Amino acid sequence: MTPVDEAALAQVIRRARRNKYADVCPALVRRIAERELAIRGRPKDAIKTTRRKLHQVGAAYWRGTEPSETRYVEWLESLTSAAVRGPASLREACQAIMASHASTAERLPLLDTFYQRTLAPIAPVSSVLDLGCGLNPLAAPWMPLAPSATYHAYDVYGGLIGFLGQALPHLELEAHVGCEDVLAEPPNAHAELALLLKVLPLVEQLWGEPGELIMRIRAPHVLVSFPVTSLGGQRRGMRDHYAQGFEKMADTQGWAWEAHIFETELAYLVHKS
């Protein structure tokens, strides 16, 4: 990539992070801005395309507007009071919060079967590494986890990560959270299972080869999933497209895998070793 002018890059980053993108991981904004400025040349054009890609990475998935600090406080208060009332109330509170994000909202009807079916070969799971997690860590009560399991949650929204760091202990999990550009540079944390739920299409679209990312993740088992409809509800052959591409890649890498087809999601449990 051609080196970019640092002053121009600083301008693009500053303008791109305004308003609803102020909470996004700085490393992600810089990486996208640097690439866009090298491609577009003019800061004005790079600002526009950087914000567009930030929308694709995260903002498009929030129902309504991105959560504010006030909303995170409300969510935490809801979980805290629900935990006192018992497991059933806690699950209801988790479901209500997960409905705020398109990815987890689509999975709500599947919660009773999705994790039990896909993770059965490796249950109970003692540690999880959830990359590009969104609100998915709140689905932990439906996962076949070992008692006092460790949960590593990473996303690009700082406020979200702060909320999850306080929320996961209510689910009796040892929480390790981070706001990092993990889809470009996976964390050093090791876990029995990594979750890459509906994020590989973004990796392929914005950064390159998803197989390289999976290889670098420090987990012997990886649960990968793909959407079968667009955010607008259109199918457009997405299931077959993702199935053909992923299975070819997994076979080339020599990984063992099991496929699981659900109404709204296509999932693979990958065994790297």
Please compute, for residue 109, the number of CA atoms within 13 A of its CA located in the half-sphere on the CB side.
Answer: 6
Quote the mean pLDDT of the chain: 91
- How many of the other CB atoms lie within 10 Å of CB of 265? 21
For the chain, domains (ranges, CATH) are 6-57 (1.10.8), 69-271 (3.40.50.150)
Distance CA 207, CA 156 (A): 15
Mean pLDDT in runs of 10 for the chain (273 residues)? Answer: 78 92 92 91 92 84 78 96 97 96 93 97 98 96 96 95 96 95 88 96 77 93 89 68 92 95 95 88
Pairing relationship of beta strands 265-271 and 193-197 according to DSSP bridges:
unpaired
Rg (CA), the chain: 19
pTM confidence score: 0.92
CA end-to-end span of the chain: 35
How confident is the model over 231-251, as pLDDT tens digits? 555 556 788 989 999 999 999
How confident is the model over 137-188, as pLDDT tens digits? 999 999 999 998 999 999 999 999 999 999 999 999 999 999 999 888 889 9
Count helices and strands (H / E) in the chain.
11, 7
Please compute, for residue 224, the number of CA atoms within 13 A of its CA located in the half-sphere on the CB side.
Answer: 30
45 vs 12, 37, 171, CA distance in Å? Answer: 9, 8, 45
pLDDT of residue 230: 57
pLDDT of residue 234: 55
